[in-house]
C-alpha cells in the first residue's frame, strides 16, 4: 500500500529542525517568517491629521463665511489655534490646528482672498484622522511566526523599523536529472531532447518563500555523477532533486542517495500527480526527490516541500487556506489515491466557481499554469461534477497558511 499523504507530511515534519535567526532589511523579508513580536512604540497618526486638502473649521460656524488665518502644508505645525469665525487651509497629511472640529473639502467652498465661504454644514470629525486611531502605543501588531507580506513590510516601515529579525530560510541545493534535458535559452532543441523546466519552476517557488536556491545543474543519469553531485549539494540544509525517482531503467536517485550515505525515509506516496515522491536524510540534511514531470514537481513542492520549509522557519501557519467553491466541470477517477487537480477561480455575484482545467496529465504545463488553485479529491471519491461543493487551496501567495 502506498503511504498516505498525511503520514508523509508527519514523517517530513518530524525530521525538520527549526532554523536560527537573522536580521534583514525590511524590503528583503517578503515571504519570510518574522522571529520577533512587534509592538508599536509610536501612535499613528502621531497627531490629528487632515485627510483632505481643505479648510479646518468649527462645525457651528458652518455653513458660513470665515476668516482665513493660515495655510498649513504637510510637515508644518500650525502656528495658530482655530477660534470661532476662523478657518485654516490644511493640506492632506498636515496637522490640523488646535480647536479644529472638522475639515471641509476645498471643492465645497468658495475661496476669496481673506475670507472663505464654507458651503455645507460640517459634521464633527469629518476628514480628520485622529491621533492614534490607526495604531496605539504598545499595540501588538505582528507576532513571531507570521509570514511577512508586502503589506507587513509597509507596516514595519510605518512603525520606524529599518531591519527586522526573521528566521533563516533553509539553504537549498537543486540537482536536476535527465539525459534528455537541455537548458532553455541557449540552443535549439536537439532531437529527442526537451527543455528543463523544473529547475526554473523550483527556483521560482523557492523565491516566493523568500529564499534562493543554489542550482547545481543538470546531472547525467548515472550513479557516479549523482553521488558526486549529492556531495556537492550537501552543504545545504535541504537538497531538491528533480527526476530519476521512478522505476525506469535510468532512475538512479534512490540508489545514489544510499551510496552517498543517505537514509531513505519514504519513497512512493498515495498522490496523483507525484506518486514516486521520495524523502531521505543524511545527518541533518533533508533530501526531497520529485518525479520529473513538471506538474508533479510543481504540486509536490507546493504540497510538501513549501510547508516543510515554512515549518523549518517556525511559521505558525503552513498550508494555504481552503476556500469553498462550486465545481464546474466533470472529473472522474479511480479510487486509487487522492488526485490533485488545477482549477480556475471565477466569481460571479457572490458565487465562487472552481472551474476544472482539462489536462492531459502531469506533463501538461499549459493547462496547469492557468490554475489559481488546487482541489484535493480524496481517495474514496470516484467523481466530482458540476455544482458539487469543493474546497480550493490557492497556489500562490498572497495567501494564508493554515494548520491542517
Ligand atoms: P523522470 O521522473 O526522470 O522519470 O521523468 C519523468 C518525465 O518528466 C519524463 O518525460 C522527463 O522527460 C520529464 N522531465 C524530467 N525532468 C524534467 C525537467 N527538469 N523539466 C521538464 N521535464 C522533465
Ligand atoms: Mg529521468
pLDDT of residue 103: 98
Residue 397's nearest CA partner among 197, 226, 146 is 146
> Between 190 and 397, whose confidence is greater?
190
pLDDT tens figures, 105-162: 999 999 999 999 999 999 999 999 999 999 999 999 999 999 999 999 999 999 999 9
pLDDT of residue 401: 36
Ligand 1 geometric centre to CA of 178 (Å): 7
Q: What are phi and psi of 114, to 5 degrees?
A: -110, -20
Best CA proximity match to 364, nearest among 290, 320, 305, 298: 298
Distance of CA 235 to the CA centre of its chain: 27
pLDDT per residue over 324-348, tens digit each? 999 999 999 999 999 999 999 998 8
Ligand 1 mean position, distance from CA 292 (Å)? 4
| Pocket-testing residue among 179, 184, 193, 194, ligand 1, by greatest number of atoms within 8 A of Cβ | 194
Q: Under DSSP, is residue 202 helix (H, G, I), strand (E, B) or coil?
A: helix
Beta strands of 73-189 (E only): which ranges? 86-90, 102-105, 109-111, 115-118, 128-129, 140-142, 163-167, 172-177, 181-182
pLDDT by residue (tens digit) across 159-202?
A: 999 999 999 999 999 999 999 999 999 778 999 999 999 999 99
Averaged pLDDT, 236-242: 98
pLDDT for residue 62: 98
pLDDT of residue 33: 97
Give distance in angstroms: CA of 242 to centre of ligand 1: 8
Strand partners, 166: 22, 34
Q: Which residues contact 154 (CB under 8 A, 6 or more apart)?
A: none
Position 350 scores a pLDDT of 84
Compute the distance from residue 245 Cα to the ligand 2 centre, in Å: 8
Query: What is the distance between the alpha carbons of residues 271 and 264, in angstroms, rounded to a whole number?
Result: 18
The pLDDT value recorded for residue 127 is: 98
The set of residues, in sequence order, having a beta carbon less than 8 Å from that of 216 and lying 6+ positions away, is 173, 174, 175, 176, 229, 232, 233
pLDDT tens for each residue of 346-364: 988 889 999 999 999 999 9
Give the strand pairing for 163-167 and 64-72. Answer: unpaired
Phi-psi region of 45 (alpha: psi -120 to 50; beta: other; left: phi over 0): beta
Whether the pLDDT of residue 404 is over 50: the answer is no
The residue whose CB lies within 8 Å of the most ligand 1 atoms, and thus the one to mutate among 177, 194, 197, 292, is 292
- Give the mean model confidence (pLDDT) for residues 194-216: 97
Q: What is the pLDDT of residue 187?
A: 76
Mutate to test the pocket of ligand 1, among 174, 175, 178 (most ligand atoms within 8 A of CB): 178
Q: Residue 391: pLDDT band by 50, 70, 90 thresholds? A: very high
DSSP secondary structure, 20-66, as one string: -EEEEEGGG-TTSBB-S-EE-SS-BSSS-EESSSEEEE-GGG-SEEE
- State in Å: Cα 296 to ligand 1 middle: 10
Predicted local confidence at residue 356, as pLDDT: 97
**What are 70's three cell numbers?**
493660515
Assess whether pLDDT exceeds 90 at residue 206: yes
The protein residue whose alpha carbon is closest to atom 16 in ligand 1 is: 292
Determine the pLDDT at residue 259: 98
Out of 293, 300, 301, 362, give the residue to mutate to test ligand 1, the one with the largest number of ligand atoms within 8 Å of its CB.
Answer: 293
Render pLDDT for 1-41 as a digit per residue (tens, 0 to 9): 899 999 999 999 999 999 999 999 999 999 999 999 999 99
Q: What is the mean pLDDT of residues 300-326?
A: 96
**Helix (H) or strand (E) run with residue 366 in it:** helix 365-368
**Atom 10, ligand 1: residue with shortest CA distance:** 293
297 touches 290 (CB < 8 A): yes
CB of 246 within 8 A of CB of 277?
no
CA of 289, nearest ligand number: 1
Cα–Cα dist 177/242, whole Å: 6
Looking at the chain, the number of H-run helices and the number of E-run strands are 8, 29
**Residue 8 CA to ligand 2 centre (angstroms):** 23
397 band by pLDDT with thresholds 50, 70 and 90: low
Pairing of strands 351-356, 322-328: parallel
Q: How far apart are the first and last CA of the chain?
A: 23
| Nearest-atom index, ligand 1, CA of 248 | 4
Residue 321 pLDDT exceeds 90? no
Please write the tens of the pLDDT for every residue from 59-85. Answer: 999 999 999 999 999 999 999 999 999
The pLDDT value given to residue 348: 80
Ligand 1 atom having least distance to the Cα of 198 = 19
* Contact assessment for residue 255 and residue 249, using Cβ atoms and an 8 Å cutoff: no
Amino acid at each position: 500500500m502506498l503511504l498516505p499523504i498525511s503520514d508523509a507530511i508527519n514523517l517530513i515534519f518530524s525530521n525538520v529542525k527549526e532554523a536560527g535567526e537573522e536580521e534583514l532589511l525590511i524590503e528583503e523579508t517578503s515571504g519570510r517568517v518574522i522571529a520577533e513580536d512587534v509592538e508599536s512604540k509610536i501612535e499613528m497618526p502621531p497627531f490629528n491629521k487632515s485627510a483632505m486638502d481643505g479648510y479646518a473649521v468649527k462645525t457651528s460656524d458652518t455653513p458660513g463665511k470665515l476668516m482665513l488665518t493660515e495655510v498649513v502644508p504637510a510637515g508644518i505645525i500650525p502656528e495658530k489655534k482655530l477660534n470661532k469665525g476662523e478657518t485654516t487651509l490644511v493640506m492632506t497629511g498636515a496637522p490640523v490646528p488646535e480647536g479644529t472640529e472638522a475639515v471641509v473639502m476645498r471643492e465645497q467652498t468658495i475661496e476669496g482672498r481673506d475670507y472663505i465661504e464654507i458651503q455645507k454644514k460640517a459634521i464633527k470629525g469629518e476628514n480628520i484622522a485622529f491621533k492614534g486611531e490607526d495604531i496605539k502605543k504598545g499595540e501588538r501588531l505582528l507576532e513571531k511566526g507570521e509570514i511577512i507580506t508586502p503589506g507587513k513590510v509597509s507596516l514595519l516601515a510605518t512603525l520606524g523599523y529599518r531591519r527586522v529579525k526573521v528566521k533563516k530560510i533553509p539553504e537549498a541545493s537543486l540537482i536536476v536529472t535527465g539525459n534528455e534535458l537541455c537548458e532553455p535559452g541557449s540552443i535549439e532543441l536537439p532531437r529527442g531532447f526537451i527543455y528543463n523546466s523544473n529547475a526554473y519552476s523550483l527556483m521560482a517557488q523557492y523565491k516566493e518563500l523568500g529564499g534562493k536556491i543554489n542550482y547545481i545543474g543538470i546531472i547525467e543519469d548515472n550513479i557516479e555523477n549523482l553521488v558526486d553531485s549529492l556531495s556537492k549539494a550537501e552543504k545545504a540544509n535541504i537538497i531538491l532533486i528533480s527526476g530519476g525517482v521512478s522505476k525506469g531503467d535510468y532512475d538512479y536517485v534512490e540508489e545514489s542517495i544510499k551510496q552517498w550515505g543517505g537514509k531513505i525515509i519514504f519513497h512512493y506516496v498515495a498522490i496523483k500527480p507525484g506518486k514516486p515522491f521520495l524523502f531521505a536524510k543524511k545527518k541533518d540534511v533533508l533530501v526531497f526527490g520529485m518525479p520529473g514531470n513538471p506538474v508533479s514537481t510543481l504540486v509536490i513542492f507546493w504540497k510538501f516541500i513549501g510547508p516543510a520549509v515554512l515549518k523549518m522557519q517556525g511559521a505558525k501557519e503552513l498550508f494555504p487556506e481552503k476556500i469553498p467553491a462550486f465545481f464546474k466541470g466533470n472529473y472522474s477517477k479511480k479510487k486509487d489515491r487522492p488526485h490533485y487537480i488545477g482549477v480556475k477561480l471565477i466569481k460571479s455575484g457572490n458565487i465562487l466557481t472552481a472551474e476544472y482545467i482539462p489536462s492531459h496529465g502531469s506533463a501538461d504545463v499549459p493547462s496547469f499554469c492557468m490554475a489559481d488553485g488546487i482541489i484535493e479529491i480524496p481517495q474514496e471519491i470516484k467523481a466530482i461534477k458540476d455544482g458539487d461543493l469543493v474546497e480550493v487551496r490557492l497556489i500562490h501567495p498572497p495567501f494564508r497558511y493554515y494548520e491542517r
